[in-house]
Amino acid sequence: MYLSTLPVIFFILITVGFHKRYRQGWRDSLLRSAVTWGATATLLAEILAPSGSFTTPGL
Amino acid sequence: MISWSLACLIAAVWVSRNASGHPVPPASNTTQRSSELVALAPVLVGAALLAASVALAAFLSPLGPIDVHLYHMPRVLFWLQHRSLGHYPTVSHQQLFMPPWAELAALHLYALAGDDRFVNFVHFASYVGCGIAASSVGRLLGGSVTAQATAAVFVLSLPQAVLTASGSKNDLTVAFWILTAVYFALSGIRNQRIWNAPFLALATALAIFTKATAYVWLPFILLTIYLSHGRDGAMRLLRSSPIIAGACLLLNAGHYARNLATFGSPWGCDAANCGTPYKFVNAHFGPRSAAANVIRNLCLHATTPIPVANQRLCEVAVSAIRLLGVDPQDGNTVWFGTRFEPPQYRLHEAVAGNPVHLALIVGATLLVACTRKPRAKTARAVTVAAVLSFIGFCWIFRWQPWHARMHLPFFVLMAPVIGAVVDLLAWPILGSALSIVLLMQAFSVAMANEMRPIANSGWNLFTVSREQLYPHAEHVRALAARLKQAGCRNVALDVHPSFQIYPLLRSLGVGSSDVRASYIVAEPRFERWYGQTSLKPCAVIYTHCDASWRSDHCRPLGPPQRFGELWLVMGFQAEWSVRRGWQIGAPGNIVPQESRRDADIVTIPAHLNADRAEDRGRMEGVASDKWVTEKGISMFIAAKKAREIKVRLVGDVPVSGPVLPQGILLRCGDRGHHRQLIEKQGRFDFTITLRCPSEEVTRLVVLPERSFRPRELGINDDPRQLAFRVFELAISKPQD
């Protein structure tokens, strides 16, 4: 259950990163983070899937 | 888990090394901003409370609606089971070819949490994200703080958004990516910075990777926005195009390749299930057909609480369509099997409209079109983009009765324009007043959401558990327990595409345990997947075995055991291959307990009370909270060749139910039937005499009727069947 906070932590970290980098305000940083998160989630799944390593931690 | 941990680590390192990389823009008038924010405090608090109530509903409620159980979530569990995003044999092709981003996000949350508890939050995050994006676009349009807040509240208070945000459909998610793409497009034009291009490109790629409707919305929107900025805009679009194309290919390539290999096209099939008449795209693209579809789609938002007003509005719409020389029910532009009819006032995400917001959009559009103020230029461009993309959507896609949710990109795109109009009128109090009215309306929608009510007087998310709200909840749990008891871990599914399979897969533990489920599908497109291997399941689960066209289909492996709408066969020795079908070594030997157990036969006279679990068990089709399922109540009664029986039914119809009158159909065997008209909401209590076949044991069915409404009332057929609860059911012989 707690593992599902990992993507949220990632989101928060990159939001802070974008805020420090671009200085365009929090809303701008949130939108940049959303896009980055979306692309990361996609690529992680696409990259992990062929190796058969995508699974629930319990398995 | 490892990959997300790694991603977090990389992000942490990046953050710690990040100093200010780009110049800080000049600060705006901070004092004025602060005073505006203070004045807007009630609105902001209201918006936060609304979002919190939607989040609560998302947390407490199961996944849904129907489509989520049919194809959105089953694919997630099969991906986990196969440890692959690859296509797999299934009877529901939408599980495969539909763009999968929302499900990929759900996959991560499901895999990490080990359950679906947080899946609704993908869509809730999109809801909040739409509010943030709308206010950010409002800022780029030069809007004041009040205008930006109004834009955000306009989005957050959309009835369709409020209802959808606590569920698992992907309409808000695609709307969010589209609005985010618009933000980065406008930001790039305004700031003249190249750093926006990759974000614009990725947002565009994510939109089309979420829902195929984005292929239609986005080109109209982006082209209009860029071209409205003249030569500079056109050049900027040209420069961004290769980046956008590259990002689209990067994110979508895997899905395109899988679709190409299975369906022969990167986009999959042109119909809901390949080869069916349920085609997505219009068969006719003439201007008159497009205009007719615009009218039909707008009519979906004529959903005021006053039925006569809705009826009149749609009568005007029908007349307008006829004036165009188009048949209102034209099968070339209307979804197969549906009819264009006036919508009802419903708080259900499948059909709820946004009448107030649409009226505001019409007003804002007129104002923006008429004003000569230079600062309205970008707002005008966004308005034209939204309107053109809406027309494009209607031009391409067949009208469906549940299209209102697919209009969300249009509504969220118009939100910043509403904010801009507040500024144009130079009357800030209007923005606050409008926001408060919209929030009050949205709260009532959030509380009374038909699928996930927080404060309904009938049932709500606090009175019924999350588990109970899954379709077929009790039956799938019983079936899963039966399989677990037998130690069966390799299950074959011989089910109809219309069956909501997700709750079954979830109960079986597909994707989160070592139970494996496989569809039995003899389609040539999946031959390669099966290869030369055979399936050797220890159980087969069927659906629709009581339908005449399927009854023989369910029996070759042995007599099935019934669990509600599911039938289970076990104990056989057989293997299935796509070329040879079933090769049966020994049939199963389970006694068909559920088909007619002596204990289940109701002896006349009988008085069944839905408060008693034992009586409810004999009234198959009555849920534990006394609601009658869509299949109705079904039971065997020992009629002992009685030609007639007397039936008394006591129950109630909720206030938020469909427009009455509607009917309850009572049927005894295949002989007699009686339609009882329910004319008003609240408690009903009626007794009727019913003819029966001359049999020892016969079946009594009590069915909520779908769309039975007398046409002479001058209002449409309500597409919903009657929803009612049953309290008592008494059966006796007429002389008793």
Q: B294-334 pLDDT, tens per residue?
A: 999 999 998 888 888 888 888 999 999 999 999 999 999 99
Confidence at residue B481, expressed as pLDDT on a 0 to 100 scale: 92
pLDDT band at B79 (very low <50, low <70, confident <90, very high): very high
CA-CA distance, B492 to B510, in Å (whole number)? 12
Contacts of B309 (CB under 8 A, 6+ apart): B302
Predicted confidence (pLDDT) at residue B714 exceeds the cutoff of 50:
no
Instruction: Answer for the pair B96, B268: CB distance below 8 angstroms, yes or no.
Output: yes
B132-143 in b/e burial notation, b at 16+ Cβ within 10 A?
bbbbbbbbbbbb
Read off the DSSP letter of residue B468. Answer: G
Q: Is the peptide bond before B65 cis (omega within 30 degrees of 0)?
A: yes
Please compute, for residue B108, the number of CA atoms within 13 A of its CA located in the half-sphere on the CB side.
29
Confidence at residue B100, expressed as pLDDT on a 0 to 100 scale: 97
Read off the DSSP letter of residue A50. Answer: G
Beta carbons within 10 angstroms of residue B38's beta carbon = 9
Q: Which of A10, A36, A41 sits opposite B104 (nearest CB)?
A: A41
- Determine whether the interchain pair B108/A10 forms a contact, defined as Cβ–Cβ distance below 8 Å: no
- Express each pLDDT in A17-37 by its tens digit: 999 988 889 999 999 999 999
CA-CA distance, B127 to B681, in Å (whole number)? 34
Measured CA distances, B652 to B249, B616, B626 (Å): 55, 16, 10
Please compute, for residue B697, the number of CA atoms within 13 A of its CA located in the half-sphere on the CB side.
11
> How close B502 gets to chain A, by Cα (Å)?
17
Computed over every residue of chain B, the mean pLDDT equals: 88
> How close B83 gets to chain A, by Cα (Å)?
5
* Contact pairs from chain A to chain B, CB under 8 Å: 156
CA-CA distance, B175 to B212, in Å (whole number)? 12
| Residue A21 sits at the chain B interface (C-beta within 8 Å) | yes
DSSP letter string, B649-684: EEEEE-TTSPSSPEEEEEEETTTEEEEEEE-SSEEE
**Burial of B104 by CB count in 10 Å (0-12 exposed, 13-18 middle, 19+ buried)?**
buried
- Determine whether the interchain pair A28/B187 forms a contact, defined as Cβ–Cβ distance below 8 Å: yes
Q: Which of B179, B122, B183 is nearest to B155 (CA)?
A: B179
SS3 of B93-155: the string is: CHHHHCCCHHHHHHHHHHHHHCCCCCCHHHHHHHHHHHHHHHHHHHHHCCCCHHHHHHHHHHH
Quote the distance between the C-alpha of residue B490 and its chain's center: 30
- Determine whether the interchain pair A31/B104 forms a contact, defined as Cβ–Cβ distance below 8 Å: no
Q: Which residue has the tokens 């918006």?
A: B47
Contacts of B143 (CB under 8 A, 6+ apart): B151, B416, B419, B420, B422, B423
Confidence at residue B712, expressed as pLDDT on a 0 to 100 scale: 40
CA-CA distance, B385 to B360, in Å (whole number)? 17
- Determine whether the interchain pair A31/B4 forms a contact, defined as Cβ–Cβ distance below 8 Å: no
pLDDT band at B644 (very low <50, low <70, confident <90, very high): confident
Confidence at residue B107, expressed as pLDDT on a 0 to 100 scale: 94
**What's the first-to-final CA gap in chain B, in angstroms?**
68
On chain A, the residues whose CB falls within 8 A of the CB of B247 are 39
The residue among B136 and B17 whose pLDDT is bigger is: B136
Question: One-letter amino acid identity for B340?
Answer: F
Confidence at residue B692, expressed as pLDDT on a 0 to 100 scale: 83
On chain B, the residues whose CB falls within 8 A of the CB of A40 are 7
Measured CA distances, B431 to B136, B154, B195, B377 (Å): 16, 10, 33, 20
Q: Which of B110, B107, B99, B118 is nearest to B171 (CA)?
A: B99
Confidence at residue A36, expressed as pLDDT on a 0 to 100 scale: 97
Most A-contacting residue of B6, B15, B123 (CB-CB within 10 A), to test interface: B15
- Express each pLDDT in B375-392 by its tens digit: 888 999 999 999 999 999
Read off the DSSP letter of residue B721. Answer: B
- What would the two tokens of residue B557 be? 């492996």
Confidence at residue B564, expressed as pLDDT on a 0 to 100 scale: 84
Q: Give the residue from chain A lying closest to B205, CA to CA.
A: A39
Q: Which residue has the tokens 């797999």?
A: B88
Q: What percent of chain B has pLDDT over 70?
A: 92
On chain A, the residues whose CB falls within 8 A of the CB of B114 are 1, 56-58
B16-25, B50-59, B161-170, B189-198, range with the lowest pLDDT: B16-25
Question: What Rg, from alpha-carbon coordinates, does chain B have?
Answer: 28
pLDDT band at B719 (very low <50, low <70, confident <90, very high): very low
Contacts of B733 (CB under 8 A, 6+ apart): B604, B605, B642, B644, B645, B646
CA-CA distance, B86 to B605, in Å (whole number)? 57
Map residue B518 onto helix, strand or coil.
strand
- Determine whether the interchain pair B25/A23 forms a contact, defined as Cβ–Cβ distance below 8 Å: yes
Q: Which residue has the tokens 């980098």?
A: A21
Q: Which of A7, A14, A21 sits opposite B108 (nearest CB)?
A: A7
Predicted confidence (pLDDT) at residue B703 exceeds the cutoff of 90:
no
CA-CA distance, B82 to B313, in Å (whole number)? 51
Predicted confidence (pLDDT) at residue B260 exceeds the cutoff of 50:
yes
pLDDT band at B545 (very low <50, low <70, confident <90, very high): confident
Q: Give the residue from chain A lying closest to B131, CA to CA.
A: A27
Instruction: Answer for the pair B639, B692: CB distance below 8 angstroms, yes or no.
Output: yes
- Determine whether the interchain pair B18/A1 forms a contact, defined as Cβ–Cβ distance below 8 Å: no
- Determine whether the interchain pair B512/A24 forms a contact, defined as Cβ–Cβ distance below 8 Å: no
Adjacent-strand bridge partners of B397: B281
| H-run or E-run covering A12 | helix A6-22
Contacts of B56 (CB under 8 A, 6+ apart): B454, B461
- Determine whether the interchain pair A45/B23 forms a contact, defined as Cβ–Cβ distance below 8 Å: no
Strand B606-609 relative to strand B561-563, pairing: unpaired
Q: Which of B15, B513, B514 sits opposite A17 (nearest CB)?
A: B15
Most A-contacting residue of B82, B136, B139, B192 (CB-CB within 10 A), to test interface: B136
Mean pLDDT (whole number) for B59-78: 95
- Determine whether the interchain pair B85/A52 forms a contact, defined as Cβ–Cβ distance below 8 Å: no
- Determine whether the interchain pair B101/A46 forms a contact, defined as Cβ–Cβ distance below 8 Å: no
Q: Which of B420, B410, B408 is nearest to B367 (CA)?
A: B420
pLDDT band at B594 (very low <50, low <70, confident <90, very high): very low
Confidence at residue B19, expressed as pLDDT on a 0 to 100 scale: 60
> How close A57 gets to chain B, by Cα (Å)?
7
Measured CA distances, B380 to B28, B33, B281, B413 (Å): 24, 25, 29, 12
Q: Which of residues 27-56 of A touch B (CB under 8 A)?
A: 27-28, 30-32, 34-36, 38-46, 48-50, 52-56
Most confident stretch, B33-42, B54-63, B460-469: B54-63
Helices (H), B324-376: 355-370
Instruction: Answer for the pair B70, B98: CB distance below 8 angstroms, yes or no.
Output: no
Q: What angle do CA B97, B205, B153 make, to 5 degrees?
A: 105
Q: Which of B316, B324, B332, B255 is nearest to B292 (CA)?
A: B324
Strand B602-603 relative to strand B672-678, pairing: unpaired
Mean pLDDT (whole number) for B478-497: 93
Contacts of B456 (CB under 8 A, 6+ apart): B447, B448, B656
pLDDT band at A39 (very low <50, low <70, confident <90, very high): very high
DSSP letter string, B166-208: TS--SHHHHHHHHHHHHHHHHHHHHH--TTHHHHHHHHHHHHH
Confidence at residue B495, expressed as pLDDT on a 0 to 100 scale: 94
B20-24, B166-170, B689-693, range with the lowest pLDDT: B20-24
The B633-638 sheet, strands edge to edge = B602-603, B633-638, B698-704, B662-668, B672-678
Quote the distance between the C-alpha of residue A59 and its chain's center: 23
Mean pLDDT (whole number) for B494-514: 94
- Determine whether the interchain pair A59/B512 forms a contact, defined as Cβ–Cβ distance below 8 Å: yes
On chain B, the residues whose CB falls within 8 A of the CB of A28 are 136, 187
pLDDT band at B625 (very low <50, low <70, confident <90, very high): confident
Confidence at residue B25, expressed as pLDDT on a 0 to 100 scale: 54
Strand B561-563 relative to strand B566-570, pairing: antiparallel
On chain A, the residues whose CB falls within 8 A of the CB of B18 are 17, 20-21
Helices (H), B473-624: 473-486, 502-508, 527-530, 613-618
Mean pLDDT (whole number) for B482-505: 94
- What would the two tokens of residue B710 be? 């007398």
Confidence at residue B653, expressed as pLDDT on a 0 to 100 scale: 81
- Determine whether the interchain pair A14/B15 forms a contact, defined as Cβ–Cβ distance below 8 Å: yes
Adjacent-strand bridge partners of B666: B674, B702
Q: Which of B11, B83, B187 sits opposite A52 (nearest CB)?
A: B83
- Express each pLDDT in B202-211 by its tens digit: 999 999 999 9
Q: What pTM, to 2 d.p., does this model score?
A: 0.82
Confidence at residue A56, expressed as pLDDT on a 0 to 100 scale: 55
Question: One-letter amino acid identity for B321?
Answer: I
pLDDT band at B717 (very low <50, low <70, confident <90, very high): very low
On chain B, the residues whose CB falls within 8 A of the CB of A33 are none
DSSP letter string, B67-102: HIIIIIHHHHHHHHHHTS------S-THHHHS--HH
CA-CA distance, B665 to B130, in Å (whole number)? 45
Q: Give the residue from chain A lying closest to B10, CA to CA.
A: A10
CA-CA distance, B122 to B644, in Å (whole number)? 55
Most A-contacting residue of B10, B199, B250 (CB-CB within 10 A), to test interface: B199
Q: Which of A6, A30, A39 sits opposite B206 (nearest CB)?
A: A39
Read off the DSSP letter of residue B487. Answer: T
Predicted confidence (pLDDT) at residue B480 exceeds the cutoff of 70:
yes
**What's the first-to-final CA gap in chain A, in angstroms?**
14
Map residue B579 onto helix, strand or coil.
coil
Q: Which of B105, B113, B125 sits opposite A3 (nearest CB)?
A: B113
